[in-house]
Every structure is written in C-alpha cells, then in structure tokens.
A and B are shown apart, each in its own frame.
Chain A
Amino acid sequence: DAGVIQSPRHEVTEMGQEVTLRCKPISGHNSLFWYRQTMMRGLELLIYFNNNVPIDDSGMPEDRFSAKMPNASFSTLKIQPSEPRDSAVYFCASSPRDIRLQFSGRINYNEQFFGPGTRLTVL
C-alpha cells in the first residue's frame, strides 16, 4: 500500500493567492483528518471526515479555509485568500474506521496514518 498521499509536498505562494492542498487516503479507510503543524502551536486538528461527511470542523481557523471530500479516495483543503500566518506544514491522516468506535460497550481507538505533509510558505 502506498500510504496516505499528499500533494504538493512543497508550495510557495504570495499573499492573497488561492492554495489547494490534496490528499488521497489509504484505500478502504473511511475517516480522514486534516492537521496543521507549526512550531508555535504544534499539531492542530482542522477538520475530520467520516464516510466523506464532515463531522467536526471546529478547528478550521476562519472562513478563508474550506475542505471537501467528494469521494472516499480524495480530499482537498483550500485557503482563499492565503496569508503569511497560514505558513505551516499541513498533514492529512486516515483511519480504518471511526476514530472512536464503540462496540459492545468498549471503546476502540484506531490508529491514524499520516501522510508526508505539505509545507506551505505564504510570502
């Protein structure tokens, strides 16, 4: 399996431009997560999808950020317009089942498989 695939690996753009980050989760996984990592704030969850449906987008910083998952094998994170403070490494992760699967009264926490990340620099 190729693992989680992200593109591009690096993106340099100017303030005000639109940026689109892409993610292909591991085949068969039905949960997908977008994270942002910076030195100051660490790794932050932006949005989480389950079966292509956005479940929790409370981490999306503001209206300039949007995420879609049109099918089980593809997701995008769009920033429009981009600002210098958006500079960070953006990770996509997928999980085989709902991250918190309750079965017979027991909670099972599934592993998240991370992609290699997209390093975004906004000048």
Chain B
Amino acid sequence: TQLLEQSPQFLSIQEGENLTVYCNSSSVFSSLQWYRQEPGEGPVLLVTVVTGGEVKKLKRLTFQFGDARKDSSLHITAAQPGDTGLYLCAGAKNTGNQFYFGTGTSLTVIP
C-alpha cells in the first residue's frame, strides 16, 4: 500500500494546455517535495513545501500544500514539450529520516 497516491497516473495533453496533478494521503506530513524525472535519469527536485496552505511558484509551475498537510497539488500553466516527464511527490513525517515517494504521474506534452 502506497502512502502517497498521485492522480492521474498518466496524462497526455497538447502544448499550451493547463493541467493539475494531485498527491493525496491519509497521513500528515511535515514536509512535501515535488520531483521531475526524465527517461534514463534520476529525479530532480523542483520544490519543497513545509507549511500547511503554502503556495510556491516556479515559473509556470504552481505548487500548493494542503491546509491539513495531507495533500498537495502541482499546476502547470501553458504546458510545453519540455515539461514532459514523470512527476513524483515525496512526503516526510515528523519522525524518521526518509521521504516516502508517491506513485508518480507520467506527463506527455504533445507539440
């Protein structure tokens, strides 16, 4: 059983469209990170959110941490082919030293 469920699992959209990826859990996390992974490479950190309700923006990407710190979302505006990849959320609890990774969302942006 995965601690963090992501939806959708797969997403294929046209260039210029907007999209939202969700990361949900029944557990409370003290911190949540979003990574992007391209084929043949390891995940690369995009952002870390630590406060319930926190919103962070990274160019066309907007990340939000839920008020109860159980969920998060990633919104991409005007998607580009370069956004194609596997998006992973990862949550850390107050105890322990590890991040629990979500199931992943595979995004394909068609030119």
Partner-B contacts on A (CB < 8 A): 4, 33, 35, 42-45, 48, 50, 55-56, 59, 91, 93, 98-100, 107, 109, 111-112, 114-117
Contact = CB atoms under 8 A, between A and B. Distances in A.
B41 A116 contact: yes
A111 B31 CA distance: 12
A109 B50 contact: yes
Interface stretch (B20-28, B62-70, B77-85, B97-105): B97-105
Contacts of B111: none
Given A91-B42, A109-B48, A116-B41, A42 B33 contact: no
A115 B41 CA distance: 7
A107 B40 CA distance: 32
A6 to B, nearest CB: 9
B5 to A, nearest CB: 10
B12 interface: no
Nearest to B42: A114
A109 B101 contact: no
Contact of B98 (A45, A111, A114, A115): A45
Interface of B: 2, 30-31, 33, 40-45, 48, 50, 88, 92, 96-104
A95 B42 CA distance: 14
A100 B104 CA distance: 23
A4 to B, nearest CB: 7
Given A107-B30, A109-B92, A112-B45, A56 B101 contact: no
B41 A99 contact: no
B44 A114 contact: yes
B97 A98 contact: yes
Contacts of A98: 97
Contacts of A43: 43, 88, 101, 104
A11 B98 CA distance: 27
Contacts of A99: 92, 97-99
